[in-house]
Amino acid sequence: MTEIRARRESEDKNRIQDITYYDRPVIHKPHWGWLIITYFFLGGLSGACYLIGLIADLVRFDVTGRLGKVCRYISLSSLIPCPVLLILDLKRPERFHHMLRVLKLRSPMSVGTWVLSIFGLLSGAVTTADLLRNILPQGKVNKFLHALDPMLSLAKVMAGLPAMFMTFYTAVLLAATAVPVWTKRAATLPLVFVSSSFSSALAVTSLVTSITKMFAVNKALVSLQLWMIPIDFIVKLFFERTLAHSLKFYLTDGRLKIVNLLGVRIIGEIFPLSLLLITRIRKANNPWIGRISSLMILLGALASRYVVVKAGEKSAVDPKAVFEITR
Partner 1 sequence: MSVGSLQSPVGFLTDTTLCIGCKACEVACKQWNQLPIDGLTWTGNSYDNTGDLGAYTWRHVEFIERFQEDIPRASDMPPFQSHWLMMSDVCKHCAVAGCLEACPTGAIIRTEFGTVYIQPDICNGCGYCVPACPFGVPDIGAYDGISHKCTLCYDRLKDGLEPACAKACPTDSIQFGSYIELKERARRRVEHLHLLGVTSAYIYGDENFGGTNGIQGLYAMFILTDEPEVYNLPRRPELPQRKVLRGYLSGLLFSILMMVLTALSLKRRD
Contacts of partner 1 in 90-149 (CB under 8 A)? 90-93, 95-96, 98-99, 101-102, 104, 106-110, 112-113
The region of 135-143, 144-152, 292-300, 319-327 touching partner 1 under the rule CB under 8 A is 319-327
Using the rule CB under 8 A, is 183 a contact of partner 1? yes
Cβ-based nearer residue to partner 1, 73 or 168: 168
DSSP for residue 265? I
Angstrom distance (rounded) from CA 93 to CA 284: 50
Smallest separation, CB 127 to partner 1 (Å): 19
* DSSP annotation string for 144-165: HHHHHHHHHHHHHHHTHHHHHH
Using the rule CB under 8 A, is 278 a contact of partner 1? no
The closest alpha carbon to 289, from 210, 213, 215, belongs to 210
Q: Which residues in the 186-225 window bind partner 1 by CB under 8 A?
A: 186-191, 193-195, 198, 219-220, 223-224
Angstrom distance (rounded) from CA 285 to CA 279: 8
Angstrom distance (rounded) from CA 121 to CA 111: 15
Using the rule CB under 8 A, is 238 a contact of partner 1? no
The region of 141-149, 184-192, 241-249, 287-295 touching partner 1 under the rule CB under 8 A is 184-192
Quote the Cα angle for 230-172-126, to 5°. 80
Angstrom distance (rounded) from CA 179 to CA 254: 19
Smallest separation, CB 226 to partner 1 (Å): 9
Smallest separation, CB 257 to partner 1 (Å): 23
User: Which phi-psi region, left, alpha or beta, contains residue 305 (left: φ > 0; alpha: ψ -120 to 50)?
Assistant: alpha
Smallest separation, CB 130 to partner 1 (Å): 19
Task: Judge whether 276 and 293 are in contact, CB under 8 Å.
Answer: yes
Using the rule CB under 8 A, is 233 a contact of partner 1? no
Cβ-based nearer residue to partner 1, 109 or 295: 109
Collapsing DSSP to helix, strand or coil, 272 comes out as: helix
Q: Please provide the size of the chain in residues.
A: 327
Angstrom distance (rounded) from CA 228 to CA 206: 13
Q: Which residues in the 42-101 window bind partner 1 by CB under 8 A?
A: 48, 51-52, 55-56, 58-62, 67, 89-93, 95-96, 98-99, 101
Cβ-based nearer residue to partner 1, 11 or 149: 11
Using the rule CB under 8 A, is 20 a contact of partner 1? yes
Cβ-based nearer residue to partner 1, 177 or 246: 177
Residue 77 burial (10 A CB sphere; 0-12, 13-18, 19+): middle
Using the rule CB under 8 A, is 311 a contact of partner 1? no
Smallest separation, CB 155 to partner 1 (Å): 18
